[in-house]
Structure formats: structure tokens, C-alpha cells
Amino acid sequence: MDLVEYQGKQYFARYGVPISAGRVADTVDEALAAADDVGYPVVVKAQVQVGGRGKAGGVKLAADRAEVELHASNILGLDIKGHIVKRLWIEHATDIAKEYYASFTLDRASRNHLAMVSARGGIDIEQVADESPEAIARLQIDPLDGLDQQAALQLVTDAGLDAEALEQAAQILVQLYRCYIEGDADLVEVNPLVLTTDGRVHALDAKVTLDDDAAFRHPEWSEIEAIGHVDQREQLAKEKGLNYIGLNGTVGIIANGAGLAMSTLDVVNQVGGSAANFLDIGGGANAEVMANALEVINTDPNVQVILVNIFGGIVRCDEVAQGILDALERVELSSPIVIRLDGTNSKQARTMLEDHRSGRLVPELTMLGAAKRAVEIAGGRS
Ligand code: GDP
Ligand code: MN
């Protein structure tokens, strides 16, 4: 789950990371009230799940009420890279002396956490990484060791932060690391982390991605409001308890087991198609689960064909076939369905499906054959 800036800042604040005083506002009037409350000058900031808001006109300084009114009315409703602004964060403006960058994320290759700090913050960090990778100091952190003040101090020193910022920045890194670990985040990023003209260091922006798999440890997460962009297909899948990830292609995919689902994506790609989703229905490939899966895929307007790829190990293929046939009675599909069933009782299953073969229901013997047929029906790569 990606948090918007103000939610990220509220998350930071729990771990002691300093932020500017601010309030949310959904209307111009609320923006004015918020600005009066936090004190002028203020910054009016669009709350959308996308970076580069500043460049897109979604972050504006306002010296007085008239400017708040002007900027709030311009920014509310603004389209920033396809995200419509519905909420603002109004915070007391900071006098910036320097803009730095700091983040924690998982480095899968080294099986460690990775801290990155740069004295060149504020701008696009990908650009810094491309043009002058030496400007980013990196530290791999063994989860068993953690990060202490001394190691953090070394890191911010290596990154070339200004002398007067070092101690505070190091302490903020330790707090951010706790936020990242104890807060079960996959990513925390502060760009910019600023040094103010009066010598204080604090987080001026916040990007936090929470690890959805840790939600069971955080009942309080259910209160975090989903703001802005929610993938409707993923939302429906979640309600139905399905393991679904939306993608951009035209071949809807249903498979049992995450490994088989991934291989199915690969094979579809290999034969020139593109997957519309990842969907693992697990072991319980009964009519109920199958109907739910078909229903979710059916809501995706990009889908041209559905590919069902089931390997019956413990689950019996004839039961799955019956499940599919029952499900097809319940859900009116907008696209044809190609089915490959193999494994336990696959012979009976195939006989059952053959009896229903049509232009809308196409049984295939092999995974590769099924993928080829599906991609043919979908008309190749989207
Ligand atoms: P982003 O463009 O989506 O990354 O939004 P940020 O929150 O990072 O804001 C973009 C830029 O606006 C920052 O890099 C700052 O240069 C500027 N900015 C944001 N808040 C303030 C503030 O309180 N005072 C000043 N002077 N500039 C600010
Ligand atoms: Mn930023």
C-alpha cells in the first residue's frame, strides 16, 4: 500500500522523525482554515500517489490568505500524471538552506536492507543515479545488526552532507530505519530532507510503501484511508479473497499455484502475447472460487481471452472442470476461454470439457498449446 505524503509524514512522526506542522484540506475553505491554523507562510501540496508534484504545479508557496485561495483552487482537481487531486496538505513553509535525499529499501540481490543518502536531494534521484552515481552514498544493513547512530553518522558523512546537519541527519536516519523496520514498510523515502536556514534538519516530503503482507500485525492500517488511485480490479479481487495482481495486457490468466501462474505469464509472453493479470486460485479450484476469478477478470475491458491453466495434484481435474462449467453458468463472460487441465483425473475432465467445446470454450492439451491458442484469439501483443 502506497501512502500519500501526509500519511507518510504522520507515519514518520510516530517514530520521532521531525516534520513541518500541517493539516489536510479537501476544499478551498478548509485550506484557508488550515493555513490560518498552521501559520503563514504555508505550502499548499497536492496529495496524490505520484512524484514530481512540484514540477507539475502541485506544490505552491502561499504568503497570505489570498495566495492560499488561489493555489488551493488551482490545485484541487488538477490532473497530475493521470491522478486527480482531491486532497491538499497545508503545512507551515520552511526556509530551506539545503535539500538532501534519504531512503531505506530492500536490496533483494544482497539480501540486506539498503540505505541511500545524497547531498543532492530535491531533484529526481533517478537522474542523480544516472548522471553522478558517486553522489549517492549507500549502506547495506544486515537486518540482524540494524543501524546505530555511529554507522548512520558515517553514512551521512560519506554522502557529503553539511557539517552542521550531520548529527541531526544521522539521528533521523536511525528513526527512519525504525519506521521502516517496525513500521513494516517496503520503502521509506525522504526527498528532500532539508537543512533549514536556522540549522534544523527535517523531512519535507515523505514516500512510504507499506508491506501489505504485514497487515495482520497492524490493525491500525485499516484506518488508513485509500486516497486517489485504486485499481478497481484489485479492489474487487481483494473483496473476494483472491490473490490477484492487475497488469496491462489482453490475456486474462487463472492458474492454481503461484509458480504455475508465473510460468503461465512467461509462456504467454514467450508466444507473443501479454498478460492482463496474475491470478493464483490456490488449491481450492471449486466452482465458487472459479466463478469469483472469472468475474474479476471479466471486469477488465482490456481482456480479449481468458486462459485457465490448472495442474491437478491434490485437486482433481474433473472437479475443476465441473467447477468451470458451473461457474460459466453463473458468469456471463465477455471473452472466450481457453482451458488446459492436466494431472489427476485429467482424462475425465477433458471429456467433460469436450462436450461443451465451442467458439467460447476451447480446451487445449498442453500449456504451450493453450497459450498459443489464447494469444491467437487475443490477436497478439497489445
Ligand atoms: P514532489 O515534487 O512531489 O517531490 O514534492 P515535494 O514535497 O518534494 O516538493 C517539491 C519541492 O518544493 C521541494 O523539493 C522544495 O524545493 C519545494 N518545497 C516544498 N516545501 C517547501 C517549503 O516549505 N519551503 C520551500 N521554500 N520550498 C518547499
Ligand atoms: Mn519530493
Which of 66, 92, 118 is at the close of a domain? 92
| Total residues found in the chain within this entry | 382
- Tell me: pLDDT of 180 over 70: yes
- Tell me: pLDDT of 382 over 70: no
Based on the fold, state whether residues 321 and 259 are members of the same structural domain. Answer: yes
- Tell me: pLDDT of 229 over 70: no
Based on the fold, state whether residues 301 and 353 are members of the same structural domain. Answer: yes
Which of 39, 58, 92 is at the close of a domain? 92
Q: Count of domains in the chain?
A: 3
* 62 confidence band (pLDDT: 50, 70, 90): very high
Q: Is the CB of 205 under 6 A from ligand 1?
A: yes
Q: Which domain range does residue 337 map to?
A: 232-380
* 8 A C-beta contact, residue 8 and residue 208: yes
Which of 92, 109, 135 is at the close of a domain? 92
The answer as to whether 317 is a domain residue is yes
Neighbouring C-beta atoms of residue 231, cutoff 10 Å: 13
C-alpha cell at 190: 525522504
pLDDT of 228 reads: 59
Tell me if residue 22 falls in helix, strand or coil: strand
End-to-end CA distance of the chain: 28
Q: Is the CB of 96 under 6 A from ligand 1?
A: yes
Q: At what angle do helices 287-298 and 317-330 cross, to 10 degrees?
A: 50
Based on the fold, state whether residues 87 and 42 are members of the same structural domain. Answer: yes
**Catalytic residue flag (residue 189):** yes
Beta-bridge mates of residue 22? 91
CA distance 129 to 126: 5
The answer as to whether 15 is a domain residue is no
Q: Whose CA is nearest to atom 12 of ligand 1?
A: 54
* 82 confidence band (pLDDT: 50, 70, 90): confident
Q: What is the pLDDT of residues 239-249, one digit of tens each?
A: 898 989 999 99
Q: What is the CATH number of the domain that holds 155?
A: 3.30.470.20
Based on the fold, state whether residues 50 and 104 are members of the same structural domain. Answer: no
Based on the fold, state whether residues 244 and 370 are members of the same structural domain. Answer: yes
Q: Is the CB of 287 under 6 A from ligand 1?
A: no
Based on the fold, state whether residues 238 and 376 are members of the same structural domain. Answer: yes
pLDDT of 380 reads: 67
* 8 A C-beta contact, residue 118 and residue 135: yes
Question: pTM for this structure?
Answer: 0.75
The answer as to whether 6 is a domain residue is no
Return the amino acid letter for 282: G
Q: What is the pLDDT of residues 146-159, one digit of tens each?
A: 999 999 999 999 99
C-alpha cell at 71: 493555489
Based on the fold, state whether residues 275 and 167 are members of the same structural domain. Answer: no
**Catalytic residue flag (residue 180):** no
Which range has the worst mean pLDDT, 174-183, 243-252, 293-302, 319-328? 319-328
The answer as to whether 181 is a domain residue is yes
CA atoms lying within 13 Å on the CB side of residue 297: 36
pLDDT of 1 reads: 87
Enclosing H/E stretch for 152: helix 149-158
